[in-house]
Amino acid sequence: MYQPKIRDDLIRKLYFRARREQKKMTCFLNDLLEEVLTGEPEPPPYSETEPRDGDPVKRKMRLYEKIVREYREGGAS
């Protein structure tokens, strides 16, 4: 599952805002996000059992090929 890194200065502001509203941080963030995301379409269902991109070896090879390609393109200029 994706876990974004929230800037420390924002965490501090969120913490004090939640405290001012006498809510736990998790409840405060859930309420805030629910309000902001109202009207957004639902994402497609998530399935942990299906691999996202097939064979992991093939994924690594594609990544390697991409890195080599970018290196060659960058080195040619």
d(CA 57, CA 53): 10
Q: Is 10 exposed, middle or buried (0-12, 13-18, 19+ CB in 10 A)?
A: exposed
Structure-block tokens of residue 60: 């690594």
pLDDT of 77: 47
Q: Give the pTM.
A: 0.53
pLDDT tens per residue, range 12-39: 999 999 999 999 999 999 999 999 999 9
pLDDT tens per residue, range 36-57: 999 999 988 876 665 566 788 8
